């Protein structure tokens, strides 16, 4: 298969690119390296187009001759989107429109779009099913929801099968520290630097963490499922408190990092856990990496990458 991965040098994207290359796909990557890393692609035979997903010409060039598209290029994170909502909208919504238009023009028939649990906003019921009200409370969540709706419209208007995967809290190897990002690499960075882990709030908030290997598995299965369209939760289906997460990471690292508490962050939800039965039924998604195993592996990778 001839695959295009937008954002293929990023955390999730590069893990996906590696899996595609290992199974023999012909892979093109489009990435501007704003948050991606060239070393994530080293040793893998990919065609690289260094460009922004907001460039219509670059996206059209990258799309040419492809059988399917994995659209992961994005401006990620609620806090970043609050600081710069215009850029967030241009990348996440405008970039997705470019991908859809290029796919239509080049007669590509399958797109997998990386959406987010951020579309839901304040949660009213759990576990979260796909039909939970979508009322995002950050520009990031709004831009991802808008992009989902664009995908839905194009799937209805044109001969395109489009799957939107609502990733929850993804973690794992190749996820580097970013103050805007996932709490796991932030805690790992603090531990490695010998600093306190800072919890925003009282630590009782819960999250559904899913390992990147499971996310890649789901993304590949969704891409291989012919004629499948729709939106699906991709998560572990379990939750953990942030305080317990911090204590696990401290234990597994062997460090003595203290835990401190700060004010809650704007846009953060209190509790989150996903119902993943729709993805299981539609394309056989089954998470396999338990949190303790995944955290040990991630901390080992982070310590090695820090050397």
| Residue numbers annotated as active site | 140
Angle, helices 183-193/291-305, rounded to nearest 10 degrees: 50
Q: How far apart are CA 272 and CA 2, in angstroms?
A: 36
- Starting at the earlier edge strand, list the strands of the sheet with 26-31: 46-50, 26-31, 2-6, 68-71, 110-116, 161-167, 230-234
Phi-psi category of residue 147: left, alpha or beta, with phi > 0 → left and psi -120 to 50 → alpha: alpha
DSSP 259-301: EEEEPPPTT--S---B--HHHHHHH-------HHHHHHHHHHH
Q: How far apart are CA 114 and CA 7, in angstroms?
A: 10
């Amino acid at each position: 298969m001839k695959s295009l991965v937008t954002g293929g040098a990023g955390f999730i994207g590069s893990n996906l690119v590696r899996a595609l290359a290992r199974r023999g796909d012909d892979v093109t990557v489009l990435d501007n390296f704003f948050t991606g890393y060239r070393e994530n692609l080293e040793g893998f035979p990919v065609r690289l187009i260094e460009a922004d997903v907001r460039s219509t010409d670059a996206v059209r060039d990258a799309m040419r001759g492809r059988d399917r598209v994995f659209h992961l290029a994005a401006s990620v994170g609620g806090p970043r989107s609050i600081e710069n909502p215009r850029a967030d909208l241009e990348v996440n919504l405008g970039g997705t429109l470019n991908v859809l238009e290029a796919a239509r023009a080049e007669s590509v028939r399958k797109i997998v779009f990386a959406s987010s649990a951020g579309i839901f906003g304040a949660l009213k019921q759990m576990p979260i099913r796909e039909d939970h009200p979508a009322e995002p409370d950050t520009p990031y969540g709004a831009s991802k929801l808008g992009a989902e709706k664009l995908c839905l419209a194009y799937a209805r208007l044109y001969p395109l099968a489009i799957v939107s995967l609502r990733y929850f809290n993804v973690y794992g190897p190749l996820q580097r520290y970013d103050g805007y990002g996932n709490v796991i690499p932030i805690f790992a960075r603090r531990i490695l630097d010998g600093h306190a882990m800072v919890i925003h709030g009282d630590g009782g908030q819960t999250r559904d963490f899913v390992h990147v290997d499971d996310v890649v598995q789901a993304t590949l299965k969704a891409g291989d499922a012919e004629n499948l369209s729709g939106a699906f939760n991709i998560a572990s289906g379990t939750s953990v408190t942030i305080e317990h997460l911090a204590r696990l990471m401290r234990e597994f690292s062997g460090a003595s990092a203290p835990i401190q508490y700060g004010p809650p962050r704007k846009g953060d939800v209190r509790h989150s856990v996903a119902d993943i039965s729709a993805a299981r039924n539609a394309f056989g998604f089954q998470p396999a990496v338990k949190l303790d195993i995944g955290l040990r592996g991630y901390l080992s990778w982070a310590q090695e990458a820090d050397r």
